[in-house]
Chain A
Amino acid sequence: MTALTLPARMKQNTRVGSVPWRRMAWVTWRQHRVSLAGVAAFLSMVAMYVWIAGLQLHRAYAAATTCNPSSPACADLVTSFNNMNHVLIGGYVLQIVPALVGAFVGAPVLARELETGTFRYAWTQAFGRWRWTLAKLTALGVIVTAAAGAISLLFSWYYEPYLATGNQSLSVSDASPLAPGLFDLRGVSFAAWTLMAFSIGVLAGVLIRRVVPAIVATLAAYTGLVLAAGNLLRQHYLAPLLTTTLSGAGSANGPGSAFVLSQWFTRGGRFAFYNWRDAPRSLIQACASPPTGGGKSAPVSLYQCFVQHGYTQLTRYQPASRFWPFQWIEGGWLLALSILLIAITVWLVRRRVA
């Protein structure tokens, strides 16, 4: 019987040089080139579609803005440009692109290793498992983010006609650059959302440990986060501006404002109502009879009457000029959250496995 009593000697890590980080470049490329090629093919298809549609859109816009406004032909050109408005809806469809890229590249990175058991090979090589994870996730994260950033430049170009100054004269439905669908596709946020989806994917992969459920969970979590950010969070990035200019009395709060909310207050500064339909019956009767004879509810004159009766309308809004500050804020928290999720993933790989 050999020594079964153990001397409690745990030597310090005998220093050995670690395997250089750059070796992971080949490893990452070789293992993920198929999925990266898939992303490239998918984004190329999207880009091709946006490019072709964008050329038509820009041509129509140029024709509509350069023609002689008094000619009947010009009216047709404006109409034909406005009829292309429906492609704006494409904005919502394009929002799934980050989710698909993130989920199909991100989720399998660790889930496939864990599902097929190859992590037992990969994580017992000298490179070390947390370094392996960090190197892979960094490389893939940078690649998908850069690809998304490149394609969002194309989206920015595509939407230029809708956001160019002067399109109000074409009476295009007001497209706020802050609106969901438009905001997410331009600037830095498209790339940031792609990185976000990727990070959700890798974390889901290490938690769920199976590829398909991890992809499904990633798509679900991404969708929830996009909806929450667009509908609940974004309007609070900066304190809204306030104006007493009557809503409906022209666009004093500027074209392209978003998150507009008008409220009426009493002389004493107490909240009274949102719009004239909620106004006290006495007030409407007082205003409806004398000044506006038209019968139709012409809010502006009605509102002016409200003002004469001592009410004040305050409108809060986020101006279109805040596009870039909002972009940096959204890009910033998405980047921070993505890095946090990737850090948690690396920590999980380091901590609890097998």
Chain B
Amino acid sequence: MNVIEASELGKRYGSTWALRECTLAIPDGHVAALVGPNGAGKTTLLNLAVSLTDPTVGSVAVLGGLPAGSPAALDGIAFVAQDAPLYKNLSVADMLHLTRNLNRHFDQGYAETRLEELDIPLSRRAGKLSGGQQAQLALTLALARRPRLLVLDEPMAMLDPLARHDFMARVMTAMAEDGVSVVLSSHVLAELERVADYLILVSRGRVQVAADVDDLLAHHCVVTGPAAEAERFRGRPGVVHAGYDRGRAHVLVKTNGSTNPLGPGWETRPVSLEELALGYLRDPVAAALPGPTRGPNDESSEVTR
């Protein structure tokens, strides 16, 4: 089953395409990370999946073919939006009660136990909680709905490193214990390395990469060699990005089983997920997707790390 399936999906705001020609299928049972620079279209894609916005073209289905926004889809997906919006003037207990009233399933016992572990008092107003506590409360409300899919939009943006760790630990526990599939967006690459096992790279409104992390790492490598000789890699098929560091060229290469003979002075090493993501994002026309690929592009996009 695919938790999110998009077909030729596009969303235009005015004359700007926030997302276009997006075709992808995210299988269940994964923590899928949606990665890209700010403004790349991550939030748009997630909003389309939870039906907060309607597609301009194409279609999106969730949880094995349910139309996004249908009652069954709303019932099965819990969404935590960016900055974890909560009613600031309501108490934590009221937020629980509110969420229970708005959903068919709500595990009150689970929510209360979790909040107690987190030292979040039920009587406190949501607006008085720290950023980390608000994010944890929003996550607790989402998980207490017992969703099949948890969608998190930039969940770590307002958290300090410790809170990030706690937050992701909670997500991973839910994943392991309840089999919840997770799709989360982030521009914090380093945080994702530990948790994500499915990667979707979005840049300038287009999906560049959508694949299992293990597959990606197995089919990419970095070749390093003298910087002076790096030019010969430009535009070659399979070359994602060439970068330079201390006189050495580091070229991210997609390996399709074929082995190109390397000249003297060149060596191959495995690639890290962060390195791979950065390589693609710096070269927005490179894609680990079927479809037309244009010539090399020198522009690079900034990635917040």
What's the dominant secondary structure at chain A's contact region? loop
Please name the residue on chain A nearest to B60 by beta carbon.
A10
For the complex, what is the distance from the CA of A123 to the CA of B74, rounded to whole Å? 9
Question: Is B7 within 8 A of A19, CB to CB?
Answer: no
Question: Is B50 within 8 A of A127, CB to CB?
Answer: no
B108 at the interface (CB under 8 A from A): no
Mask: chain B, 89-109; 1 = CB below 8 Å from A; 0 = not: 110001001110111110000
Beyond A19-B103, A127-B103, whether A2 also contacts B25 by CB under 8 A is: yes
A116 at the interface (CB under 8 A from B): yes
Min CB gap B8→A, angstroms: 9
Q: Which of A68-107 contact B (CB under 8 A)?
A: none
Question: Is B104 within 8 A of A126, CB to CB?
Answer: yes
Beyond A26-B97, A117-B81, A121-B86, whether A126 also contacts B67 by CB under 8 A is: no
For the complex, what is the distance from the CA of A23 to the CA of B228, rounded to whole Å? 69
Question: Is A10 within 8 A of B65, CB to CB?
Answer: yes
Min CB gap A127→B, angstroms: 4
What's the dominant secondary structure at chain B's contact region? mixed
Min CB gap B108→A, angstroms: 14
Mask: chain B, 44-74; 1 = CB below 8 Å from A; 0 = not: 0001001111100001010011110011101
Name the contact of A11 in the complex, choosing from B66, B86, B288 (C-beta under 8 A).
B66
Mask: chain A, 22-35; 1 = CB below 8 Å from B; 0 = not: 01101100110010
Question: Is B101 within 8 A of A27, CB to CB?
Answer: yes
- CB contacts (< 8 Å) of A123 on chain B: these are 52
For the complex, what is the distance from the CA of A278 to the CA of B171, rounded to whole Å? 87
Contact residue range for chain A?
A: 35 or more
Q: Which of B130-185 contact A (CB under 8 A)?
A: 138, 145
Min CB gap B265→A, angstroms: 32
Question: Is B212 within 8 A of A19, CB to CB?
Answer: no
B289 at the interface (CB under 8 A from A): yes
Beyond A1-B215, A26-B97, A124-B79, whether A15 also contacts B85 by CB under 8 A is: no
Question: Is A354 within 8 A of B98, CB to CB?
Answer: no
Name the contact of B77 in the complex, choosing from A6, A23, A30, A124 (C-beta under 8 A).
A124
Min CB gap B42→A, angstroms: 14
Beyond A16-B72, A27-B98, whether A10 also contacts B86 by CB under 8 A is: no
Please name the residue on chain A nearest to B99 by beta carbon.
A125
- CB contacts (< 8 Å) of B71 on chain A: these are 13, 16, 18, 126, 128
Question: Is A1 within 8 A of B104, CB to CB?
Answer: no
Please name the residue on chain A nearest to B79 by beta carbon.
A124
Question: Is A10 within 8 A of B53, CB to CB?
Answer: no
Mask: chain A, 1-21; 1 = CB below 8 Å from B; 0 = not: 111101011110111111100
Name the contact of A353 in the complex, choosing from B52, B78, B86 (C-beta under 8 A).
B52
Question: Is A11 within 8 A of B65, CB to CB?
Answer: yes
Question: Is B54 within 8 A of A4, CB to CB?
Answer: no
- Chain A residues proximal to chain B, CB less than 8 Å: 1-4, 6, 8-11, 13-19, 23-24, 26-27, 30-31, 34, 116-128, 132, 351-354
Known: A6-B7, A6-B25. 6 other contacts (CB 8 A): A13-B67, A120-B81, A121-B86, A124-B78, A128-B71, A354-B47
Can you report 16 A-B residue pairs in the complex whose CB atoms are below 8 A from each other? A1-B211, A2-B210, A2-B211, A2-B212, A4-B23, A6-B23, A10-B67, A11-B65, A13-B67, A14-B66, A15-B72, A117-B83, A118-B85, A124-B77, A126-B105, A354-B47
